[in-house]
Amino acid sequence: MPAQPTPMMAQYLALKEEAGNCLLFYRMGDFFELFFDDARKAAGVLDIALTTRGEHDGQPVPMCGVPVHAAESYLARLIRAGCRVAIAEQVETPAEAKKRGGSKALVARDIVRFVTAGTLTEEALLEPRRANVLAAACEVRGSIGVASCDISTGRLEVEECEPGAFGAALARTGISELVVPDEWDGAPPGAIVRSRGEFASGEGERRLKAIHGVATLDGFGALSRSMLAAVGGLLAYLEHVGRGTLPFLQPPVVRTGGSSLAMDEATRASLEILAASGGGRKGSLIDAVDRCVTGGGARQLAEDLAAPLTERDAIAARLSLVGWLNDEALLRDDLRATLRALPDIERALGRIVAGRGSPRDLGQLRDGMVAAGRIRDLLTGREGAPPSLDSLVPRLGGHAALIDLLTRALVPSPPTERSQGGFIASGYDAALDELREMSGNARRSIAALEAKYRKETGIAALKIKHNGVLGYFIEVPAKHADALMAPNSGFTHRQTMAGAVRFNALALHDEATRIAEAGGHALAAEEAHFEDLTGQVVAVRNAIAATAAALSRLDVSAGQAERAAEGGWCRPDIVEEPCLEIDGGRHPVVEAALAGSGDRFVANDCRLGANDRLWLIGGPNMGGKSTFLRQNALIVLLAQAGGFVPAQGARIGLVDRLFSRVGASDNLARGRSTFMVEMVETAAILSQATERSFVILDEVGRGTSTYDGLALAWAVVEAVHETNRCRCLFATHYHELARLAETCDALSLHHVRAREWKGELVLLHELAEGPADRSYGLAVARLAGVPANVVSRAKAVLEKLERGRAETGGLAAGLGDLPLFAAAADAQEERCDTLSDRLRDLDIDALSPRDALDLLYELKREAGTGS
């Protein structure tokens, strides 16, 4: 029979079962200890020593630990490694445990919080300039509801999407953690799985009403059942990780289809909007344009770039504020200087409402609201200010009473920890001041008592000392101890040391008790004041959040204006007609990189309109085709995000969806080769792009044989021109595609210029009209360092191939006579016949509602209209 575990180990095992697959931080004194497999895993991630403590089932118990005072830094490393942690704290003192169960009673512990990637609020665990988003998703009747929040700021968004758009919704949000119901086939890998019962739309509705104190949710917008189900799952998870305490959540923002520029996962990755292809911020679009001076502003800018607007008036409002601050350089400098000194009041508020706040957070709110008032005074009454400023300035004030309270109550620089007190200002509470004076006079009163005892005993070496075990005690050299050992001396022996003896005395005991009680009462009084101040903040949390949001918007606008002034960027003209007219456009990221090396970026124009909406662009590798494609996509994105753009002039017709298929890589985990990835992305474009979309395509068809690739590229160009009818830049090396200009009236030919000079290739990076004369592939190979004998051999092979092509009429011979979409029409007719036969033989009355719905989805897929 195995030995029974010790009481401590039994307690640990019970808590570990409750923690599930989370690492358990088990509080023991000044350390968080980990045992068994948790210890092995944590020791490997944290690179700390793995030891043992006692035995369990006859085997040594692996153990490691981290100091409580440094726990945040260790938690940060564990979270970055993909771990989740449960924090088990002591929920009673040793004295309380002894009183409850005797001298051998084990101190009670309980899990007080789960620390996960999406539920962080601590400054040390968060990136200041990046939102930390937790999302929950649930499918209801064929639609997926997504609820996402950043609990460090309280922002909550909900949306509904079709299954095919779910990946794009997650990519736009940039989530740190996703929660889904069990038994859902559409759940992405790595998601946190919870009980399906938590994703009940009725429960989500009830909880939202209770949180915001409303009888109806109509004021928040149209919330579907799938949205409410996702909200229910999100709130249940937040309650679980917070052990019953919900964080600060603002009223939900309902994101509807079409309210923002749609971009799929491939497009976001291709354009490197918030992260570069190699990971990290360096080399991304946001890295090149971010001039915000506050964390809140940087997070708002990231949100703007991730979800550009599609409403002309909303875009114009943002552009007007950026334009005004661009013109008012001195005002912009003053505004940015004041913003730069702001604390992150959004996240300080989030910690306070979540019950994880500190005196320092209260001080940050006080200082932030004071600065907001200065900014309001700076911006009030300015001539020529845009109307959009009128909606921001009023939100910067209205906190006079709270500012006054926090100013009177708090010291100028409150500490992070409140357990030691010292954060309530003198003069705020007379009773507290008296307790502090009593406790603070301890040194004087103890010194007076020491002098008294020396005089009474005649022992000049007598001292009163203090330590954490004995408290205050009297110490004399051993040779004087006998005098104090006498029965009527008034002293009580406590401890004999080598060369010294320690005693207690009634007066010393009374004084020590008085000092300890005064200190304890002072700490209790400060704690009570902290709770009261926190309650005052929570009562006006929505108004503070509105101030923080206004400050972030001002920071974004001032930062955009600063970036425009730096680079000579222009204000885009946003129009309804489908056009894209860019004068001297530049790629913001590439231009910034070239500037660092002293090189100049070559600007290029772009002219797309109703009669010239598809450009076919040829030219050599490294000539700048991909850069030209991307820069125009980024200019559209920046413009609809409400910022100036890197160009001399820009007239942009509103874009509903942006697609980028520029470069591809293997996705071996999903069983897809490079060419398969390319075709999947191309298929998404052809099935989703509308007449108001903007598409950039680079080298479609290059991943397969020459004939297959040319055929695919040819058909894709025709489809984009005739069916999608969107604005499109199509880069290719297939010169044969130039013949499409004969049949596609809205297609024009362009190329990036290059010259060979004395055997060397000179890339001009300039765009010119007309088809490319050749690809300069061998010259590029030579530049890349391909051995000369290989290049020479390739040249000989090329000459032979070109002679053969000249004799046979080339790869594209006969394509000009091929009826446009003839094959597609035949396939469509055949598909219609098949569908007609199926419908004719269908017994509708025999179908259940579920069978009928499944059949509709199946027929829709067969018709080629998506799922």
132 plus 111 within the same structural domain: no
Give the per-residue pLDDT at 834: 67
149 plus 207 within the same structural domain: yes
pLDDT digits (tens, 9 = 90+) for 17-41: 999 999 999 999 889 999 999 999 9
611 is in an annotated binding site: no
711, pLDDT greater than 70: yes
- Is 638 inside any structural domain? yes
Give the per-residue pLDDT at 488: 85
Give the per-residue pLDDT at 526: 92
Q: Into how many domains does the chain fold?
A: 6
- Is 792 inside any structural domain? no
- Alpha helix segments (H runs only) across 601-669: 625-640
- Tracing tokens 């599609």 back to the chain, one arrives at 310
Give the per-residue pLDDT at 821: 54
List the single range of 256-265, 582-591, 778-787 with lowest mean pLDDT. Answer: 778-787
761, pLDDT greater than 70: no
Q: How much is the mean pLDDT over the chain? A: 89
Give the per-residue pLDDT at 27: 95
Q: For 510, what's the count of Cα atoms within 13 Å in the CB-facing half-sphere?
A: 4
DSSP class of 662: -
Is the CB of residue 398 less than 8 Å from the CB of residue 540? no
Give the helix/strand (H/E) hosting 465. Answer: strand 463-467
Is the CB of residue 363 less than 8 Å from the CB of residue 414? yes
pLDDT digits (tens, 9 = 90+) for 471-517: 889 999 999 998 899 888 889 999 999 899 999 998 888 888 888 78
Judging by beta carbons within 10 Å of its beta carbon (0-12, 13-18, 19+), is residue 103 exposed, middle or buried?
exposed
C-alpha–C-alpha distance, residues 334 and 340, integer Å: 10
Give the per-residue pLDDT at 124: 83
Q: What is the CATH number of the domain that holds 134?
A: 3.30.420.110
Q: What is the CATH number of the domain that holds 495?
A: 1.10.1420.10
The residue count of the chain comes to 867
622 is in an annotated binding site: yes
More confidently predicted of 700 and 65: 65
Range of the domain at 828: 822-862
Quickly list DSSP for 387-423. HHHHTTGGGG---HHHHHHHHHHB-SS--S--TT---
Q: For 738, what's the count of Cα atoms within 13 Å in the CB-facing half-sphere?
A: 18
Give the per-residue pLDDT at 471: 83
- Is 314 inside any structural domain? yes
477 is in an annotated binding site: no
C-alpha–C-alpha distance, residues 158 and 256, integer Å: 9
855, pLDDT greater than 90: no
Percent of the chain with pLDDT over 70: 93
Going by pLDDT thresholds of 50, 70 and 90, the confidence category of residue 453 is very high
Is the CB of residue 8 less than 8 Å from the CB of residue 44? no
Give the per-residue pLDDT at 820: 57
- Is 29 inside any structural domain? yes
Beta-bridged to residue 476, according to DSSP, are: 501
Going by pLDDT thresholds of 50, 70 and 90, the confidence category of residue 867 is very low
pLDDT digits (tens, 9 = 90+) for 44-99: 999 999 999 988 888 899 999 999 988 999 999 999 999 999 999 998 888 788 88
Q: Is 111 helix (H, G, I), strand (E, B) or coil?
A: strand
173, pLDDT greater than 50: yes
576 plus 561 within the same structural domain: no
- Is 264 inside any structural domain? no
Going by pLDDT thresholds of 50, 70 and 90, the confidence category of residue 819 is low
Q: What is the dihedral of CA 629, 686, 667, 118, to 10 degrees?
A: 80
Residue 431: C-alpha distances to residues 435, 438, 521, 542 (Å): 6, 11, 10, 33
Mean pLDDT of 439-445: 75
Going by pLDDT thresholds of 50, 70 and 90, the confidence category of residue 758 is low
Give the per-residue pLDDT at 211: 92
Q: Is 47 helix (H, G, I), strand (E, B) or coil?
A: coil
Mean pLDDT of 704-717: 85
- Is 504 inside any structural domain? yes
DSSP class of 197: G
Mean pLDDT of 100-121: 89
588 is in an annotated binding site: no
| Region of residue 131 (left: phi > 0; alpha: psi -120 to 50; beta: else) | beta
Is the CB of residue 159 less than 8 Å from the CB of residue 253? no
Mean pLDDT of 629-658: 97
Give the per-residue pLDDT at 864: 58
Q: Is 1 helix (H, G, I), strand (E, B) or coil?
A: coil
pLDDT digits (tens, 9 = 90+) for 222-278: 899 999 999 999 999 999 999 988 899 999 999 887 789 999 988 999 999 999 988
410, pLDDT greater than 60: yes
Give the per-residue pLDDT at 58: 84
384 is in an annotated binding site: no
Mean pLDDT of 330-350: 96
Going by pLDDT thresholds of 50, 70 and 90, the confidence category of residue 830 is low
Mean pLDDT of 401-416: 96
Mean pLDDT of 672-693: 87
685 plus 762 within the same structural domain: yes
555 plus 494 within the same structural domain: no
621 is in an annotated binding site: yes
623 is in an annotated binding site: yes
771 plus 687 within the same structural domain: yes
- Is 554 inside any structural domain? yes
Beta-bridged to residue 109, according to DSSP, are: 90
Give the per-residue pLDDT at 809: 63
Mean pLDDT of 552-572: 97
CA nearest 133: which of 89, 177, 67? 177
Domain boundary among 495, 512, 529: 512
Give the per-residue pLDDT at 796: 79
CA nearest 62: which of 100, 12, 120? 12
Give the per-residue pLDDT at 654: 97
Give the per-residue pLDDT at 863: 64
Residues sharing a CB contact under 8 Å with residue 145, sequence separation 6 or more, in sequence order: 137, 138, 139, 158, 159, 160, 224, 225, 226, 227, 228, 229, 230, 231
Is the CB of residue 392 less than 8 Å from the CB of residue 550? yes
Give the per-residue pLDDT at 653: 97
379 plus 333 within the same structural domain: yes
620 is in an annotated binding site: yes
Q: For 498, what's the count of Cα atoms within 13 Å in the CB-facing half-sphere?
A: 0
* Encoded tokens for 368: 């932030």
Q: For 357, what's the count of Cα atoms within 13 Å in the CB-facing half-sphere?
A: 31
Mean pLDDT of 715-744: 93
CA nearest 765: which of 645, 859, 624, 652? 624
Phi/psi at 128 (5° precision): -60, -35
Beta-bridged to residue 495, according to DSSP, are: 502
Domain boundary among 79, 96, 115: 115
250 plus 315 within the same structural domain: no
Domain boundary among 88, 115, 142: 115
Is the CB of residue 291 less than 8 Å from the CB of residue 588? no
CA nearest 114: which of 16, 198, 45, 22? 22
Give the per-residue pLDDT at 50: 95
648 plus 717 within the same structural domain: yes
Quickly list DSSP for 683-747. HHHHHH--TT-EEEEESTTTTS-HHHHHHHHHHHHHHIIIII--EEEEE-S-GGGGGGGGT-TTE
pLDDT digits (tens, 9 = 90+) for 136-159: 999 999 999 999 999 999 999 999
More confidently predicted of 838 and 43: 43
Sheet of 500-505: strands edge to edge? 463-467, 471-477, 500-505, 491-497
669, pLDDT greater than 50: no
741 plus 675 within the same structural domain: yes
Give the helix/strand (H/E) hosting 440. Answer: helix 430-440
